[in-house]
Amino acid sequence: MSTPKPRLEYIPVDDRVVELKPGEFNVRRSGYDREVEELANNIKKIGILQPIIVNKVGNKYIVIAGQRRYLAAKKAGLKEIPAIVYENLDRRQAIEISLSEAIHRVDVGDADLMDAVTFLYGVYGKVSAVAQILGKSEQWVRKYLKMEKVLPEEVKKDKDIGVETKSALADLGRKVSDTLGEEKANELILKTAKEIKEKGIKGGDAKKLIKAVEKVALEKPKNNVEEIIKTAEQLFEKEKAREKEEKEKPLLEPNTIIIKLPPDTYEALDKASRVKMKDKEEVAVEYITIGLYRDGFLERA
Q: What is the pLDDT of residue 72?
A: 93
Tell me the per-residue pLDDT of 166-186, one tens digit each, with 9 for 90 and over.
999 999 999 999 999 999 999
Domain regions of the chain by residue span: 1-90, 178-248, 252-301
Q: What is the pLDDT of residue 67?
A: 87
The CATH number of the structural domain formed by 1-90 is 3.90.1530.10
CB 120 within 8 A of CB 111: no
Tell me the per-residue pLDDT of 249-267, one tens digit each, with 9 for 90 and over.
666 667 777 888 888 998 8
CB 85 within 8 A of CB 59: no
Q: What is the DSSP string of 173-208?
A: HHHHHHHH-HHHHHHHHHHHHHHHHHTT--HHHHHH
Tell me the per-residue pLDDT of 9-50, one tens digit each, with 9 for 90 and over.
999 999 999 998 765 565 555 556 777 888 899 899 888 878
Q: What is the pLDDT of residue 68?
A: 87
Reported pTM: 0.61
* H or E segment and range at residue 84: strand 80-87
- Per DSSP, the chain holds a count of helices (H) and strands (E) of 14, 5
Which residue ranges of the chain lie beneath pLDDT 70?
A: 1-3, 22-32, 104-108, 249-253, 301
